[in-house]
Structures are given as C-alpha cells and as structure tokens.
Amino acid sequence: MENELQKLKAEAEEALHAISSKANLEDFRVKFLGRKGLFSSTMKQLGKVSKEDRRRLGQLANSIKKSVEELFRDRKEMLESGDGTVAEAVDLSLPGRALPFAALHPISQVMEEMCAVFEGMGFAVAEGPDVETDHYNFEAVNIPRHHPARDMHDTFYVSESILLRTHTSPMQARIMENQDPPLRYISPGKVYRCDSDITHTPMFHQVEGFLVDRKVSFADLKGVLTSFIHRIFKDDLPIRFRPSFFPFTEPSAELDIACVICGGSGCRVCKRTGWIEILGAGLIDPEVMKMVGYDPDEFSGFAFGLGVERIAMLKYGIDDIRLYYENDLRFLKQF
C-alpha cells in the first residue's frame, strides 16, 4: 500500500507537469482527485490493512493527497493568469513593454525655440490672460470703440466688455502700466479670431515682444528682428521691411522673408511674390505711452508680434495649418 501511494504521487506529479492548457485541468482533477478518482479508490483500501498500519498509512495518504492538491492549485492559478497555456503564462524571454514616449506639440516646440532666442537677447517672459477685457485688448493699445481698426480683428466676445484676446499686444499695456522703463519683454500665448481656412484657425499662437528705454530707434528694432529671423531660419535668409499700419505703433512695418518653400522664385505658398509676411512691428505709438503714464519725450520703444503657426509652417514646409490641430499621431510623431 505504501508503495502504491508513492507511485500514485509520482504519477500525479508527472501528469500535472504535463498539463499545458486550462482545458486539461478538469480531466486531471477527475482522474486523480475526484470522488471516484485514483486517490479515493486507494484510500478505500485502507480498510483492508492491519490496524497497526492503518493510522500511519492514513496519515501518509492524506499528506500526499494534500500536496498533490496544492500543486494542482498552483498549476491552475498559473494557467488562468495567462491566456490559458503555459508558454504564454510565463515567457521569461519576453522583453518588457516600453512605455510610449510623449513629446511636446510642434507648436510648443517652435514657441519654446522662439522664446529661447529672445531670452538670449535679454528679454524676460511674461504670460497674460486669454480672456481679456475690451480695455486692454483694444482701448489701451489705441483702438477706441468704433475705430475702423477693430475690423482687422474678428473678435469672439464673451460679453460687451469681455472677449477672447485677438492678439498678445494687450500685454504691452499690462506690463507697462505696472513697471517703469527700461523694459524688455516677450509674451507668448494663445490668441483667438473668428476665422478658419487652410492658413487660419480660430485659435492660434503669437509671441509679442517689446522694449522701452531712452533713445530706442527703428534701427534697434531692425537689429533684434534680423538676428531673430537668422537664428530661427538660416543666417543668410533675405528679409525686407515693408511699411504698414497698426494703431499702436508709429511708424509701423511688416517683415517679409524670402519664401522658404521656393527660395524666392515664386510659388503657391508665397502667392508668386517670392516673399512671405511673418510679423508686424513698429515703434510704440506715443499715445500708448501716454496712456500708461510714460513721457514719450523721454522714452521710446519698439514692439512686434509674431505668428507661431506661420513660423512653424515655414520651418517644416507644411501648407495646411489645420494639420497641427487634428491630433493625428502619425503627423505629430514626426516632430
């Protein structure tokens, strides 16, 4: 009987080891551990052995059955934790799963790069609110109510006097009214205009910049912007300043760069002109200075506003702005 028990134990262990899928577990249980299984029938023979041996053999039988039951439970747990087969449950050679790497959105990357160039020239960074008052967005930068210049900005109004800022220029007034010159600031952020086509989205990004000190001239503005463009694109990219109008700068200019798509020979992107406009700028209007309490005879300054999407499109040769905001990972992963 003792031999029989040991043999049964070895047999059960071997059978258990051979089980490689969940489906075979039940067969094993019925055959060995079930009511009519091999262990039960062996135990029944205990009745036939001598009294002195019965106790010892009974204990032996019980402990063997227990250990087989334990092994069975372990095997079952292992098979149920994988997809039901031993190979899948524990494949020690499988490499770990790498976590996907996140990266900054291309617009954020370009904005950071732009800010870094200006910071290198000594400009400090200040961010302002997206939800702005009519006062700072328009009045404080010399665009009174009913002034035709308001037409340049298709504005989202929240109420009569609250709106989504249409440019980052309100930050000029916000900073100047709280600090005395000399000032050298850039202000990056989101701006909003009711506009949508392949080169416009209702939300886009600008980087505003301004500098106020004694004896600031248009030459200083040209110097700062020229080095900026050459740092962002390439050292010898042709640029030109073209006269323009903004209510908060006088004189005003727009800066064009040679089309980076066709190299200046004329294409669809530059509308066959060879030039692409990328920013507005000028000397800060004396009216704006007066409104924040500066004496325009003592101080002068320049300001500029750049579209980040425009720069990113030209840098990467992308002609549809909407790609930036469709959250298509195949597009975004390229940056």
* Residue ranges in contact with ligand PHE by CB under 6 A: 167, 169, 208, 246, 249, 280-282, 303-305
User: Measured from the CB atom, is 106 or 307 closer to ligand PHE?
Assistant: 307
The CA distance from 216 to 309, in Å, is 29
Least Å distance between CB 303 and ligand PHE? 4
User: Measured from the CB atom, is 39 or 299 closer to ligand PHE?
Assistant: 299
Burial string for 27-63 (b: 16+ CB within 10 Å, else e) reads ebeeebbeeebbbeebeeeeeeeeeeeeeebeebbee
Tokens 């002195």 locate to 52
Least Å distance between CB 182 and ligand PHE? 18
User: Measured from the CB atom, is 89 or 221 closer to ligand PHE?
Assistant: 221
- Residues 189, 282, 137: CA angle, nearest 5 degrees: 40
Least Å distance between CB 266 and ligand PHE? 25
Instruction: Report the residue closest to ligand PHE, judged by CB.
Output: 305
Helix axis angle for 218-232 and 106-120, nearest 10°, is: 130
CB 107 within 8 A of CB 308: yes
Look at phi and psi of residue 8 and say left if phi exceeds 0, alpha if psi is from -120 to 50, else beta. Answer: alpha
User: Measured from the CB atom, is 79 or 284 closer to ligand PHE?
Assistant: 284
Least Å distance between CB 285 and ligand PHE? 9
Least Å distance between CB 209 and ligand PHE? 8
User: Measured from the CB atom, is 15 or 292 closer to ligand PHE?
Assistant: 292
3-state class (DSSP) for residue 156? coil
